[in-house]
Amino acid sequence: MRAAWQALGAELVPPAGAAGLVSWLQETLRAERHGLVPWLAVALGVGVAGYFSLRFEPPFWLGMAMIGGAGLLVWQVRRRVPALVAASAVLALAVGFNAAQWRTMLVAAPVLERQISAVMVEGRVARADPVAGGFRVTVADPVVARLAAAETPVLVRIRVRGDREPPDVGSLIRVRASLLPPPGPSAPGAFDFQRQAWFARLGAVGFAMGQVLVLEPREPGVGKRFIAALRQGVLRRVTAVLDGDTGAVAAALLMGQRGGISETALTAMRDAGLAHLLAISGLHMGLVAGLLFFVVRGSLALAAPVALHWPIKKWAALMALVGIFGYLLLAGAPVPTRRAFVMTGLVLVAVMLDRTAISLRLVAWAAAVVLLMRPESIVGASFQMSFAAVLALVAFYERAGPKMAAWYGSAGPLRRLALYAVGVSFTTLVAGLATMPFAIQQFNRVAVFGMVANLAAVPLTGMWVMPWAVLALILMPFGLEALALVPMGWGVDGILAVAKTVAAWPGAAISVRAMPLAGLIAVVFGGLWLCLMRRSWRWGGLAAVLIGLLTVGQTRAPDIWVNSDGKLIGLSDGNGGLLLSSGRAAAFTRGIWLRRAGIDEWATFPKSGASEDGRLACDGVGCIFRVKGQTVALVRDAAAFWDDCRVADIIISRAPVPRDCTRPHTRITPWDLRDGGAHVLWLEPGTARVANVNEARGRRPWVP
């Protein structure tokens, strides 16, 4: 034991003196050399994240200057290994920052500045997606009446209600619609749809005020339009054979199309910890690649002359690579699928080159490729959760894999089955623990029984559903897809049954408040240190993770929530619930507020009279809320100002507040909501702390 502690001290504590320190650094870098390339990818990500964390748009020359300075630094220290490693990290950081700047500039496109009602929109269909109660059509290069060409967005997305079939991708349509700019976050720190729309070049959203008129049939498409038309065709084939949630989930597994899944089924999948099955990621890509690889190799092995004289293993890897590239295009290339394709493709290339297939370096290269192509993905849940899961799994199986493989090789059939179940359990546990902090941060939700659900659903997906899915795609050109889709549907029904059963268990999913930023940084850095380092000091990363997780739920939920138009107001009832001004308005915003507050219970304001505890009283012109020694006036009509301005400490109004209304120390007016977006308030004795979404985001290109 004493020898072990002495060895650990020699690893962690550098000797005294400059020469000893340099020698210790060189020895440490030599021991950790396998993890240095992944750390460069981390530095690249830090540069990208640094750009998106700014509250102002930096001058374009800044990124180029950073690269130039870091490159010069690398050249100056090229002969000193420790300094070269540090300088290379600085260069990677500068490259990430600059890549994000370039991407922001290249996707710049007009964004609608104001709502336009009852306007005629005409253009080609770029995408048509089924959603609950209708479909959603994206129009490319539209012509919008009453809008100049220079002000017209590149893409417009319109929601159409009804049970009619969506128009074909590539067809020319005309529809009367109400358009508005992409909406901002529902609360400071919440999901930023405006940022996502900016990078998708989506300049307006809206809803149809009539039926969609097809002016010209579909044109023969090329590029993205051809792929979108192919996706639409596959969706129609699937839903023609499988209806309801079965067909919608089958479409999600085949091509990542989740719009048709009912809210009930989607909630059950999330609460059971099975939502990852609906996003085409490493599991699906690996299954497709494996099926193609073994089918091709097995078929070629039947011909002895070919098997003995040609590298059929490499041929099979090449065919699998071609197959997963087609699967990537069919899925629409979202971030998880793109990451999975890069990683699986590198594995197959490694097989063709007789190199080690899976490693932490492979994960790092995949992350670097995704970040350079789509830097904005770093702020999304897909990138964070998919790479967290893959990094943790690769690190775990690099250490535990050889021992588990030895157990499996010497085991009989029953023991192999038991080891498979253990492997699925550990895979689910490791991936679940790795993604849990990001699930808390992004969705404020934790699936408690996810391992149990995955133990049943993952083998069913891999052994039954996905093989039939691949066969269905192969049979589609011949019109025989029903032969495979029907048995695939049986498996999908089994997955849904597992999800609904587990989600119905008491406490299956719990709501929690997000970590503060410092806690999240501790978790991320600690997890990276634990996975990427080789020496004993890697266990220090586990301590950082635990410290970060201790901050879960430590953030204080706002006492008052106000959406961007003031039509929905939420009040903390002091008992773990939320009182809402409306039970129907802004349902999406309501859901976000509840999740971010870490609560499930809500009720609506009394239409007239007082609430049960007497703290909230409403009439026809507004409400009065008394909490923490302060009086909050919620004004609907200007007639309320006569009384409210004399008694209120805080006024939140949808009507302009008179200038002589000076008693309130805090006022939120229609102009504040217009300029700042959604607001939240934390009440303190005699005052209030106010935050709004635009103040938190700063002046960025996607912030109006």
* Domain-wise residue ranges, the chain: 32-106, 116-219, 225-273+461-509, 284-376, 380-448, 517-549, 560-697
Q: Is the separation of the CB atoms in 173 and 215 below 8 Å? A: yes
pLDDT tens, position by position, 673-694: 999 999 999 998 888 999 999 9
Give the pLDDT score at 6: 45
Please tell me the distance from the alpha carbon of residue 182 to that of residue 202, in angstroms, as a whole number: 8
Please tell me the distance from the alpha carbon of residue 421 to that of residue 412, in angstroms, as a whole number: 14
Give the pLDDT score at 493: 94
Please tell me the distance from the alpha carbon of residue 354 to that of residue 363, in angstroms, as a whole number: 18
Question: To 5 degrees, how large is the angle CA 99–CA 184–CA 146?
Answer: 95
Number of C-beta neighbours around residue 178 at 10 A: 15
Q: pTM of this prediction?
A: 0.84
Q: List, in sequence order, every beta strand (DSSP E) within 527-649.
A: 560-562, 569-572, 577-580, 601-604, 609-610, 616-619, 622-627, 630-635
The label of the residue with tokens 């394709």 reads 341
- 3 state SS of 107: coil
Q: Is the separation of the CB atoms in 289 and 324 below 8 Å? A: yes
Per CATH, domain 116-219 is 2.40.50: yes
Give the pLDDT score at 226: 75
Give the pLDDT score at 1: 40
Number of C-beta neighbours around residue 139 at 10 A: 29
Give the pLDDT score at 3: 44
Please tell me the distance from the alpha carbon of residue 57 to that of residue 55, in angstroms, as a whole number: 7
Residues in the chain predicted with pLDDT less than 50, given as ranges, are 1-10
Q: Is the separation of the CB atoms in 157 and 137 below 8 Å? A: yes
